[in-house]
Amino acid sequence: MKDQIQRRRFIKQSLAAGGSMFFMANLTSLKAEKKIKNILANETLQTIHNLRTIHGNFSKKNLTHDQIRDIVDATVQAANSSNIQTYSIIVVKDRQKMQNVCGYQGGCMLVFCADHNRIHRSAKYLGYSYHSDNIINFVTATMNTMLAAQTAVIAAKSMGIDSLLTNGLHRGDMDRVWKILNLPEKNCFPLIALILGYPTEEPVYNKGRLGGVGVVHHETYHSLTEEDLDEITAAYDDHSTHLALNPDWDKQGFSHYQDWLYRDWLDEASNPINQETQMFQLLKRSGYVDLQNES
């Protein structure tokens, strides 16, 4: 507490010093306010606010054995239901294998799978039976798995290592992931790949995130009004927020960023699905879809 008070006092004194005019000219801007808040934040919050996604431009520098060990050791500390950790983490250092699995490569790849095989084997070993073949267990395992994956991202960033969380393993022939990684067909489903490494060049900015209306609700759920939707649309359209995947949307003739998002990027999602998807078929094979009584 004493150190925090001293830091605040130092910042205030700095603002009052010779360079105060420069600081005061910028304090009215959101960026300056955020900068001051970040200075006062603890190291964990600074790490989280500095998280960034590196899209494919990782350098050839590999992670060391000790770095991978420390990240994985931190990862398994993530919260999980009933403390049975219904997930598996596949550590991959072979760059070509990374490319084949998810389309990206970096210093290391962690593949996170919802997985009940260890639970099944342990139960059988001790003379018990355990059944995970229902959607409830899959959803719970998914939550456990993703909590672990995000913990890995934070742990890596605290060590100066950037990341890319990708669902690229769900593109194309998904069965390749089972074959490449020798995953069990039953009670195991790969959810996401995490590429870790160092960027070839520093990104100009970090991607923004919505954090207000439509995302955060207080006490009860708030249904969006037209005014709220105008605010959200304006936030996406504001280039300074860096929310857009495509920063040139307006140069391409779109009135709003979300026009590009829905028309070009999410166009497939606008069409209803009329048949079983590959993912659904593999979920059934894995045993995670509730059994249906035939009529």
Contact 108, 54 (CB under 8 A): no
Give the least confident one: 24-33, 93-102, 152-161. 24-33
Across the range 20-39, mean pLDDT stands at: 50
Angle between helices 2-16 and 30-40 (to 10 degrees): 140
Answer whether residue 94 shows pLDDT above 90: yes
Rounded to a whole number of angstroms, the distance between the first and last alpha carbons of the chain is 67
The pLDDT > 70 percentage for the chain reads: 83
pLDDT of residue 139: 94
For the stretch 131-145, pLDDT in tens is 888 899 999 999 999
For the stretch 232-267, pLDDT in tens is 999 999 999 998 989 999 999 999 999 999 998 887
pLDDT of residue 155: 96
Across the range 260-283, mean pLDDT stands at: 84
Domain architecture of the chain: domains with CATH = 65-197 (3.40.109.10), 227-270 (no CATH)
What is the Cα–Cα distance from 95 to 106, expressed in whole angstroms? 7
Answer whether residue 166 shows pLDDT above 90: yes
Phi, psi of 6 (to 5 degrees): -65, -40
Residues 6+ apart with CB under 8 A from 278: 174
Answer whether residue 5 shows pLDDT above 60: no
pLDDT of residue 34: 60
What is the Cα–Cα distance from 255 to 249, expressed in whole angstroms? 8
- Is pTM beyond 0.95? Reply is no
Across the range 219-232, mean pLDDT stands at: 94
pLDDT of residue 22: 41
Across the range 163-185, mean pLDDT stands at: 95
Across the range 216-236, mean pLDDT stands at: 94
Answer whether residue 211 shows pLDDT above 70: yes
Q: Of 110, 112, 130, give the one whose Cα is nearest residue 120.
A: 130
CA distances from 111 to 72, 152, 178, 211, 268 (A): 12, 11, 11, 28, 26
What is the Cα–Cα distance from 242 to 199, expressed in whole angstroms? 19
Q: What is the band of 7 on the pLDDT scale with cuts at 50, 70, 90?
A: very low
What is the Cα–Cα distance from 154 to 167, expressed in whole angstroms? 18
Across the range 161-166, mean pLDDT stands at: 94
Which is more confident, 106 or 292? 106
Give the least confident one: 16-20, 206-210, 285-289. 16-20
